[in-house]
Amino acid sequence: MSDLKYSQEHEWIRVDGDVATVGISDFAQSQLGDVVFVELPAVGTQVAKDAEAAVVESVKAASDVYAPVSGEVVEVNGALEGTPELVNQSPTGDGWFMKIRLSDPSELDGMMDEAAYAEFSASQG
Amino acid sequence: MLAVIGVPSVDGLFRDVPGSVHLSEPVDLPPHQGELEVERAISAMAAENVPAGSVPFFVGAGAYRHHVPASVDYLIQRGEFLTSYTPYQPEVSQGTLQALFEFQTQVALITGMDVANASMYDGATACAEAALMAQRVTRKTRVVLSGGLHPHYSETTETLLKFLEGQVHRLPADVDGTEDAEAEISDDTACVVVQYPDLFGRVRDLRPLADACHAAGALLIVAMTEVVALGALTAPGDMGADIVAAEGRSLGNPLNFGGPYVGLFAARDKHVRQMPGRLAGETADVDGRRGWVLTLSTREQHIRREKATSNICTNSGLCALAFTIHLSLLGEDGFRRLAALNHAKAVQLSEKLADSGVEILNETFFNEFTVRLPAPAAPVVDRLAGEGILAGVPLSRLLPDDPRVERLLMVAVTETATEEDMDRLAAALKEAA
Amino acid sequence: MDRSQGRTSRPDAAGSVSAADAGTHTGNRGLQIEEPLIFEQDAPGRCGVDLPAPPAAGSRLGGLERRDAIGLPGLSEPQVVRHYTRLSQKNYAIDSGFYPLGSCTMKHNPRLNEKLARLPGFADLHPLQPEATVQGALRLIDTLSHWIRTLTGMPAVAMSPAAGAHGELCGLMTARAALEARGDARKRVLVPDSAHGTNPATAAICGYAVEAIPLNDRGRVNLAALKSALGDDVAAFMLTNPNTCGLFEDEILEQAEAVHSAGAYFYCDGANFNAIVGRVRPGDLGIDCMHLNLHKTFSTPHGGGGPGSGPVVLSAALAPYAPLPWVVDCGEGFRLVEHADDAGDARPYGRMKAFHGQMGMFVRALAYMMSHGADGLRQASSDAVLNANYLAARLSDLLSLAYEGPCMHEVLFDDAFLKGTHVSTLDFAKAMIDEGFHPMTMYFPLVVHGALLMEPTESESRESIDQFVEAVRFLAERARAGDSARFHEAPVYTPRRRLDETAAARHPVLRWRPETPHSEAAE
């Protein structure tokens, strides 16, 4: 899992060429509790770094998910529509949210690696 | 108790109130009175009014008088319903929650829609919220209001959307029934709102309009002021409606001089997370037994706050319960028979009026139609009220700026009108004609 | 079955018998009777209402006659009466017990009010009857508005809003209309961290961005933070007073001055007016608009979630922009102003709902006010504050008060007293249900960790509060003694135990549907 990078808003990102897969961290899903619904953007949407891109809902809370990078949404995880619990079960695997075609790869520079994020999230708990 | 608290007087508990604004004496209002005196004073106010049931009565235009079975009011006055709180604690609110689930199901069934919420304040606010929802669903902003929509519904919708992005395009009153709402649909149209039967009492097939809306990516919102019509008419959901926003007061609830009423709000499954208002949903308890909870709460203000689908909190719970009990008593056969009775009486009255030489504008109607008098309608209605007949609603009351409606009178007839009532109205209007 | 994966199958019409209920054949437990949905009791052809056959007449439905069955069930009158009676018995209610629900004000609902609201002279009155036939109804609205204006010390009141949140919307729209009239719509609304969720939701519908103002360490709005957030783009400051921590905003006069000197309006959420009726007039505090919840302060019944009524009192600056309609006393009689053209110099911004307001609630509220009178209303708020402080005093040694000092009509505790017990605020509240009480308000306001907000109202006797206190003390001691299982299992004596809200939200089932062979196979 060392290929993951993390934002301070608890999103992770995995880059493959010019496309980045985005989801929320294991720490974030554990804080949210049982996820009951995920609202994803439409494919083709242009998202800007740090702007709201999706919403993740538990029974008692709705939280915005911010795009960690700018670009065009090229794919969303349709499986979350029927099985939002994937976000709890496999946050960095089958529970991914969307794929974004990077418009500015340099935005990745400020993100945390696994170890830095582990330290960061521990300070948040 | 003061000793336990440790203050010398109750005034000491108000020490955070700035002294300059803390009243030392009661305000200038009468002192307390006993139950007998209060009943006497308020009953005297009631006695100044002319109750609908005391005279031949044909007033409609958004509120229709129906007979409510006695057991409805008995049941809703049970303290466990009347004095209970919003069912946020499901373990001690299964009664309210199950009744709401039944309400939602009944509303979905009669409107021909997939889902319904646990009620809105009234039909007009349901209509306004429907337009707002259509903007969220379509991400478009233009709202087209038919000229056949009740003016109070149009005004309420215009008001709710007043300070938000987008434009409300209200068509002129459709006096002669020639409105072409399809022509008003543009690329930026979120929805078209039509009433069924419309303000003037007419019914028409909404399928072509629904198709036109959908072709343009807009929603069709069908508003209704008389829910009993659904016992006789094709359901809006079967004609392509995307949202039905209706006044449900006709079932279970008295006229109440305009409130409280109960808004019905029904939609399609695919839009359920954009719906306003509370929803009861089925689930199970830790022992696996079926039960009900309020669900999808993340749409609501107490969680989503400024991103909520609506600011609504309290709705019309007890009125919804009355609706549900009345409709349960009626059942399939009773609901259809009630609607048939209304329609047949309306047809009967229209024939009596026509025989008396009164001009009726409608080709089609359910239990209300438009009459054109030879003189302005409002003074005629006032004069007949003086003679003990409540003849209907002069359209100038709702559309004071439109000279075309000055002579028009809305006449509604329900199962509560007797043959004798109808004969008296026919004779009175013949005289006026 | 793994319930986290979704839902259980639908029990059959007779009600399922789970392992927990294996003791009886029916699944019933004495007076707790399992009751299927009305749709599961359908006997086609049965009807609970005796309607005459329609007279022979043609159809004028234009070919749109309904052809298919609707799917409504047929039941007899006794079946329906029994069904809803049984459902009622699954509810807690203020008639049957104590509701210490902070911020919701569950007080006794006198039945005189119900009786009067049902007089045909009010209940059987159509909103569009000629004015001459509804003079008593208009007089009642005018009289109630006089009582409301006098109690609040405000010059005007908009009567039509249908509930508190609707009143909020009305108040803030009035403020925006007034701002627009001076060509200055502005962009932001300031709301304290502790506000009801309706406040930010309302501001958003009025087209405003919402900005939160923090509290100070005494549970009040941080005045310095308010002042620094104010500016010439702020339309309004929305405050609840007494606030949602149950405290009077002791710097409210300074807040009002700061708000007004920034050219903004001061909105007050009147949900907690019950604490100060007859003792403090909002009009003396510099407030421009405030909604009242007639179903909280003036005892119209909650009805399991409405109907409510939310009249909005307005300052002289805002009065001209109030929505239609309103009642005018012409000396010789009362009139309704229903249209802008008829409004004289006023500039109404619109209409909140159909017709004229919640008449049925008006009758009840006026009956309540007249029964209490100026003296009794002041007594009621004094008693409400006394009861809350007594409750606080009797629990403060064992529970953890969020803020020191006298409270108003409700008292706020945090969950510090549960630290290390493995019992959450929610568990604690559910255990209160087994003790025969409705839970207190939990996790609100959001500014306090694990909040427990308790409001006894003036309705509760000292004996009733003592009984509640003893139950809370017992449970707090059980929690500290390590008896966490009691809390995690609770409630156990209710018609249903804890319900799976996750399953309900993941795969919503929002209506009954007839069983089909296909769906049975699927399950």
SS (H, E, C) chain B: CHHHHCCCCHHHHHCCCCHHHECCCCCCCCECCCHHHHHHHHHHHHHCCCCHHHCCECCCCCCCCCCCCHHHHHHHCCHHHHCCCCCCCHHHEHHHHHHHHHHHHHHHHHHCCCEECCCECCHHHHHHHHHHHHHHHHCCCEEEECCCCCHHHHHHHHHHCCCCCCCEEECCCCCCCCCCHHHHCCCCEEEEEEECCCCCCCCCCCHHHHHHHHHCCCEEEEEECCHHHHHCECCHHHHCCCEEEEECCCCCCCCHHHCCCCEEEEECHHHHHHCCCCCEEEEEECCCCEEEEECCHHHCHHHHHHHCCCCCCCCCHHHHHHHHHHHHHHHHHHHHHHHHHHHHHHHHHHHHHHHCCCEECCCCCCCEEEEECCCCHHHHHHHHHHCCCECCEEHHHCCCCCHHHCCEEEEECCCCCCHHHHHHHHHHHHHHC
Asked if B27 and C375 count as a contact pair (C-beta separation under 8 A), the reply is no
Residue length of chain C: 523
Contact B317 C306 (CB under 8 A): yes
pLDDT at C9: 41
List CB contacts (< 8 A) between B29 and chain C: 147, 150-151, 369, 373-374, 377
CA distance between the termini of chain B: 74
Q: How far apart are CA C349 and CA C467, in angstroms?
A: 50
pLDDT at B433: 67
List CB contacts (< 8 A) between A60 and chain B: 297-298, 303
**Residue (of A99, A96, A94, A84) closest to A38 by Cα position:** A84
pLDDT above 90 coverage of chain C, percent: 87
Asked if C160 and C325 count as a contact pair (C-beta separation under 8 A), the reply is yes
| Three-state DSSP class for residue C274 | helix
pLDDT by residue (tens digit) across C74-111? 999 999 999 999 999 999 999 999 999 988 899 999 99
DSSP string, chain A: -TT-EE-TTSEEEEEETTEEEEEE-HHHHHHH-SEEEEE-PPTT-EE-TTSEEEEEEESS-EEEEE-SS-EEEEEE-THHHH-TTHHHH-TTTTT--EEEEES-GGGGGG-B-HHHHHHHHHHH-
Question: Residue B309: pLDDT band by 50, 70, 90 thresholds?
Answer: confident
pLDDT at C520: 41
List CB contacts (< 8 A) between C18 and chain B: 287-289
> Would an 8 Å CB–CB cutoff place B304 in contact with chain A?
yes
pLDDT by residue (tens digit) across C15-62? 444 545 468 999 898 989 999 999 999 999 999 999 999 999 899 999
DSSP-assigned letter for residue C337: E
Distance from the Cα of C516 to chain A's closest Cα (Å) equals 22
pLDDT at A81: 87
List CB contacts (< 8 A) between A56 and chain B: none
Contact B46 C120 (CB under 8 A): yes
Question: Residue A125: pLDDT band by 50, 70, 90 thresholds?
Answer: low
Angle at A62 between CA A59 and CA A66, to 5 degrees: 145
Distance from the Cα of B155 to chain A's closest Cα (Å) equals 33
> Would an 8 Å CB–CB cutoff place A116 in contact with chain B?
no
Lowest mean pLDDT of B164-168, B318-322, B375-379, name the range.
B164-168
Query: How far from C282 is each of A84, C252, C292, C313, CA to CA, in Å?
Result: 48, 10, 11, 9
Contact B415 C51 (CB under 8 A): yes
Q: CB B376: neighbour CB atoms within 10 A?
A: 15
- Whether the pLDDT of residue B231 is over 60: the answer is yes
Whole-number average pLDDT of chain B: 96
Distance from the Cα of B404 to chain C's closest Cα (Å) equals 18
Taking phi over 0 as left and psi of -120 to 50 as alpha, with beta for the rest, C192 belongs to: beta
List CB contacts (< 8 A) between C367 and chain B: 38, 42
Contact A84 C4 (CB under 8 A): no
Q: Taking CA atoms, what residue in B is nearest to A36?
A: B296
Residue length of chain B: 433
Q: How far apart are CA C262 and CA C230, in angstroms?
A: 6
- Whether the pLDDT of residue B311 is over 90: the answer is no
pLDDT by residue (tens digit) across C307-360? 999 999 999 999 999 999 999 999 999 999 999 999 999 999 999 999 999 999
When pLDDT is averaged across residues A54-62 and rounded to a whole number, the result is 86
Asked if C325 and C338 count as a contact pair (C-beta separation under 8 A), the reply is yes
Two tokens, residue B244: 């039905």
Q: Report the relative pairing of strands B408-412 and B368-372 from DSSP bridges.
A: antiparallel
pLDDT by residue (tens digit) across B155-185? 999 999 999 888 999 999 999 999 999 999 9
Distance from the Cα of C5 to chain A's closest Cα (Å) equals 8
Angle between helices B123-138 and B151-160 (to 10 degrees): 50
**Residue (of C298, C385, A72, C263) closest to B16 by Cα position:** C385
> Would an 8 Å CB–CB cutoff place A123 in contact with chain B?
no
Query: How far from B363 is each of A57, B126, B193, B371, C144, CA to CA, in Å?
Result: 51, 29, 22, 12, 45
Asked if C293 and C264 count as a contact pair (C-beta separation under 8 A), the reply is no
Of C130, C372, C494, Cβ closest to residue B32: C372
Q: How far apart are CA C260 and CA C226, in angstroms?
A: 12
Q: Which residue did the predictor score with more confidence, B95 or C517?
A: B95
- Whether the pLDDT of residue B430 is over 80: the answer is yes
Contact C74 B332 (CB under 8 A): yes
Q: Taking CA atoms, what residue in A is nearest to C443?
A: A60
pLDDT at B284: 97
When pLDDT is averaged across residues A91-118 and rounded to a whole number, the result is 92
pLDDT by residue (tens digit) across C218-272? 999 999 999 999 999 999 999 999 999 999 999 999 999 999 999 999 999 999 9
Q: How far apart are CA B83 and CA B89, in angstroms?
A: 15
Q: Taking CA atoms, what residue in A is nearest to C505?
A: A36
Lowest mean pLDDT of A33-47, B41-55, B282-296, name the range.
A33-47
Whole-number average pLDDT of chain C: 92
pLDDT at C73: 98
- Whether the pLDDT of residue C1 is over 50: the answer is no
